[in-house]
Structure 1
């Protein structure tokens, strides 16, 4: 699911997958996914980090 979202043409799908990751996985698994994205293509890691930061900011309110 993550690979399809990373290399698909639908940016919203990637955002949705990243949001699900933030909501459902623990910190250790999120770190593993971050390392995977960094190895595949750091651009995806930057996008993921932005989505995760926004998600955390929105859940604090």
Structure 2
């Protein structure tokens, strides 16, 4: 099969192009964990998980 550019021209972009509006998921997770660490919530969760692991 050969590529015939005479009959198959490149179509390019159709319509307007916009930047991605969604936040970066990894940065969102990092920011949430960082905020939880600053407020001391993360250490509470870690302590609960460790306590449950010790019971098992």
TM range (shorter): 0.3 to 0.5
Higher relative contact order (CA 8 A, sep 6+): 1
TM-score by length of 1: 0.31
